[in-house]
Structure 1
Amino acid sequence: MNQQTSQQAPPWYLGRLAGFDLETTGIDVESDRIVTACVVQCGGKYPTQSTTWLANPGVEIPEGAARVHGITTEQARAEGQPAGEVVQQVAAALVETVLSGIPVVAMNAAFDLTMLDREARRHRIYPPAERIGTELRVVDPFVLDKHVDPYRPGRRTLTDLCRHYQVPLDAAHSADADALAACRVAWRIASTHGEIGTASIDDLHALQVGWAREQAESLAEYFRNTPGKEQRADGVRGDWPLIPQPRTESR
């Protein structure tokens, strides 16, 4: 009889996590551009390692976006790397992280991962999601929070979640601060909600696909039934963690 006993793997949130965040020229994943990016590895009893990038997006940064993340067109042109170089480096860092078995933590992941995908295609870089394939595992604090506490009133921005879960956020809307804060919020949710914390990372990823779809359907229904907001229902997407590229009609 084999006397060797297998040790149960520790919960995913006690291992290494990779926070990922982008700050951009706007919120349209099909046309806006990356301005700053961060991939930060933390947890797992190892030192935190953070890499950040500042890009010259090649287009004007609207004043509204600059007020959010603090990067003006002039600063991006003077200090930023060419956009294609940044996209290539961010994509490579994310691919390396995922293929090493580390889950990606991203607040509203469908935005950041889709934005990176479209930027990669724009600059003729092999899209990271296609390089990663089925190895991608994502933890999205936005999806998790809406699942565990669906009826809490108020907004659910990262700043709001940090306040609710008592996570420090000293420089909101800087990519490095947001990436690290997203990891901490995910840790808080997982450590206090057994359904989240005890799930394997494979199962949790699959569950979030369904939860994100259900949440989107609920939001679209709300818009359809709210006078003055009906047209917003058509823009709600339930794809997660990546919005598929729009099909181009052949002639």
Structure 2
Amino acid sequence: MSWHLGRLCGFDLETTGISVETDRIVTACVVQCGGKHPTQSATWLADPGIDIPEGAAKVHGITTEQARAEGQPAGQVVEQVVAALVQVVNSGIPIVAMNASFDLTMLDREARRHRVMPLTDRVGDQLRVIDPRVLDKKIDRYRRGGRKLEDLCRSYEVKLDGAHSADADAIAACRVAWRIAQQEPAIGNASLDFLHEKQIDWAREQAESLADYFRRTPGKEHQADGVRTEWPLIPHQARAGES
């Protein structure tokens, strides 16, 4: 059976910012859907332990005050999210994550921060990821316009309820992945093992192309060095003082 006709697991985080090394998780969602079974969704609100910048709060709607009053301790949230994803991976279900290298790297760094065993340390090479952003760039490289989740939802005629809430984004990512697989038999009929490996190559090529664009664009040259080519996770490099 084609992978997109089976169970999928959407994963999404909303955070204090866009730095995977220094920012923190605010909300998280792990949702299992498809495969002719009922949708099962788990969501978390964390107290990140730092202030949530006003700009981030405007995106996802969670203020510092709300997170402190209603959120679980961040370490508990991280442990529970990692455990939920371990169960998914061990069941052979692919994780669907829009711009996976952000969410999975953020979760990895938070796990290390709170002394939780990271996902990849627990599941090893069993991890299989589907990234709608990588797939979309591969099949429609020259389409004009943005490549954010809401852009892809418009392009693939997918309903998005409440953009920038973790639960809405997680289920929408699954819907976009399903639609791409339906429209592109080469992707829909590929094995998960093959597709995961190909996305590693495609993501690297896409990142290299972006870096080259920055180098050739006046005023953006400095951004080229910040482009990372690793997918679906940026490897951790211990810094001074870290264990």
In structure 2, the partner of 1:138 is 129
The match for 1:183 is 174
Cα offsets for 1:191-212 (capped at 9, x unmatched)? 0011111100110000000000
Extract unaligned runs of 5+ from structure 1.
1-9
In the TM superposition, what is the alpha-carbon distance from 1:77 to its structure 2 partner? 0.5
**DSSP 3-state at the match of 1:35:** strand
Q: Which residue of 1 aligns with 2:149?
A: 158
Rounded to whole Å, the distance in 2 between the matches of 1:249 and 1:82 is 26
Post-superposition CA distance 1:181-232 (Å, at most 9, x none): 0000000000001111110011000000000000000000000000000010
> In the alignment, is residue 123 of structure 1 matched against residue 114 of structure 2?
yes
* In 2: Cα distance, 1:124 partner to 1:188 partner: 38
- Distance of 1:199 and 1:186 partners within structure 2: 13
Residue 246 of structure 1 deviates from its aligned partner by 2.2
CA deviations 1:61-113 (Å, max 9, x no partner) are 00000000000001001100000100000010011111111000000000000
Does residue 217 of structure 2 align to residue 230 of structure 1?
no
In the other structure, the counterpart of 1:169 is 160
Q: TM-score, normalised by structure 2?
A: 0.98
Structure 1 residues 129-181: Cα deviation after superposition (integer angstroms, max 9, x where no partner):
11010000000000000000000011110011001100000100000000000
Aligned to 1:3: none
Q: d(CA) in 2 for partners of 1:118 and 1:87?
A: 10
Moved over 6 A (4+): none
2-structure distance, mates of 1:149, 1:202? 22
Task: Confirm or deny that 1:248 pairs with 2:239.
Answer: yes
- Report the counterpart of residue 83 of structure 1 in structure 2: 74
Q: How does 1:37-52 map to 2 (within 5 A)?
A: 37-52=28-43
Q: Secondary structure at the match of 2:20?
A: coil
Question: For residues 215 and 237 of structure 2, what CA distance do their matches in structure 1 show?
Answer: 24
Equivalent residues, number: 241
Instruction: Provide the residue aligned with 1:5 in structure 2.
Output: none
State the alpha-carbon separation in 2 of the partners of residues 29 and 77 from structure 1. Answer: 21
Equivalent residue number for residue 195 of structure 1? 186
Give the partner amino acid of 1:174: S
The DSSP-based 3-state class of the residue aligned with 2:180 is helix
Q: CA RMSD in A?
A: 0.9
Gaps of 5+ in 2: none
What is the TM-score when the length of structure 1 is the normalising length? Answer: 0.95
Larger Rg: 1
Shift of the alpha carbon at 1:249? 6.2
- 2: CA distance between counterparts of 1:126 and 1:201? 25
Identity of aligned residues (%): 73
Equivalent AA in structure 1 for residue 205 of structure 2: E
